[in-house]
Amino acid sequence: MTIRQLVKPSGPRRVYCFAKRYITPRLLRITVSGDKLLGFPSDSAGAHIKLFFANCQSGNLQLPTRDEQGKIHWPEDKPVTRAYTVRAYRTEQNELDIDFVVHGDSSPASGWAVNAEIGAELGVAGPGGPNPLLAAADWQLLASDLTAVPAISALLQQMSDAQHAEVFIEVDSLDDRHELAHPCNVTVHWLTRIHGDHQQLARALATAKPPATATSVSVFVAGENSAVLACRKQLIGDFGLTKKRLYAIPYWRRGQDEERYHDQRHEIMDEVY
């Protein structure tokens, strides 16, 4: 898997919407650009980024700054922040693709994307996150819902032709199924979510069988909190995996926004296994 070049942390970059298009009915790609984006790492596909949106009360977009000691200073009109994924960055064009799952037009992030016109501004900080995102192994498992499809798409594009992998993606509707570029030894399974069933992805992972030649396994799991925890439990039981080979991160929790879920999410991420 690709190991990104380390970059010095910096404050958020102010960028603008350059283009937008729907990949599926619920997956919207926003392409951003701008002079401040120049120098963004070219090897960052799949990495985590933070997005900054206008303050909900004032409507102003004021970005935090980082001093020489690395301390972050927040403005009076604190922006709304959300964690997202780099889908792709094209250095020559200075264009960054960010995929948004559409769930209404009033939320700070999804709503911004749905309503964004060309020239609409936001802030981007990063990239960051684990490096590499998926540990090297001769057999790999990937599981997610639509929120982590951008990361999975990037990971699949980085795999060699000799790589063996199985991918399980849970969606509310098969209308959101779309072609993912991947090597010939990779199989992608699309599952229609059974509402209220948080074990569906875990059961799917339990059916995966390694090739006869496999001697090691690594896993990437991301998506809704309960589903991720169920998958993590299943994989630890099946393969005895630890964090070194099992990256399981909840992106969101049903019924909670990112502000309410933030602390619990980080507690889960910090757990030892």
Residue-level pLDDT at 247: 95
On the question of a common fold for 13-128 and 139-270, the answer reads: no
State the chain's mean pLDDT as an integer. Answer: 93
CA distance 252 to 227: 10
pLDDT(245) > 80:
yes
pLDDT digit string, tens, across residues 72-106: 899 999 999 999 999 999 999 999 999 999 998 88
Domain coordinates of the chain in residue numbers?
A: 13-128, 139-270
Span 51-73, pLDDT tens digits:
999 999 999 999 999 888 888 89
- Nearest-5° angle of CA 104, CA 269, CA 202? 70
* Structure confidence by residue, pLDDT tens digits, 101-120: 999 888 899 999 999 999 99
Between 77 and 260, the more confident residue is: 77
Predicted local distance difference test score (pLDDT) of residue 156 = 97
Answer whether residue 4 shows pLDDT above 70: no
Backbone angles phi, psi at 92, to 5 degrees: -60, -35
Q: 261 or 189, which is more confident? A: 189
* pLDDT for 22 beyond 80: yes
CATH tag for 13-128 (out of 3.40.50.720, 2.40.30.10, 2.40.50.140, 1.10.357.10): 2.40.30.10
Which pLDDT band holds residue 260 (cuts at 50, 70, 90)?
Answer: confident
Q: Please tell me the total number of residues recorded for the chain in this structure.
A: 273
- Whether the pLDDT of residue 10 is over 80: the answer is no
**Is the pLDDT assigned to residue 136 strictly greater than 90?**
yes
Q: Give the list of residues 6+ apart from residue 133 with CB closer than 8 angstroms, or none.
A: 1, 46, 47, 151, 155, 220, 247
Return the minimum-mean-pLDDT range out of 24-28, 61-65, 260-264: 260-264
Residue 132 to residues 81, 92, 141, 193, 201, Cα–Cα distance (Å)? 24, 24, 15, 29, 23
Provide the 10 A C-beta neighbour count for residue 251: 22
Reduce the DSSP state of residue 221 to 3 states and report it. strand
| CA atoms within 13 A of residue 70's CA, in its CB half-sphere | 2
- For domain 139-270, which architecture applies? 3-Layer(aba) Sandwich (3.40)
CB of 60 within 8 A of CB of 123?
A: no
pLDDT in tens, 162-193: 999 999 999 999 999 999 999 999 999 999 99
Q: What is the mean pLDDT of residues 11-37?
A: 97
Q: Sign (positive/negative) of CA torsion 153, 155, 158, 160?
A: negative
pLDDT score of 258: 83
Q: Give residue 3's pLDDT band: very low, low, confident or very high (50, 70, 90).
A: low
In this prediction, what percent of the chain has a pLDDT beyond 90?
Answer: 81
> From CA 180, how far away is CA 43, in angstroms rounded?
19
pLDDT at 124: 97
Q: Which of 210, 204, 209, 202 has the alpha carbon at shortest distance from 231? A: 202
- Single pTM value for the model: 0.93
Torsion of CA 182, 188, 194, 199, to 10 degrees: -100
Give the tens place of pLDDT for each residue, 214-242: 999 999 999 999 999 999 999 999 999 99
For position 11, what pLDDT does the model report? 75
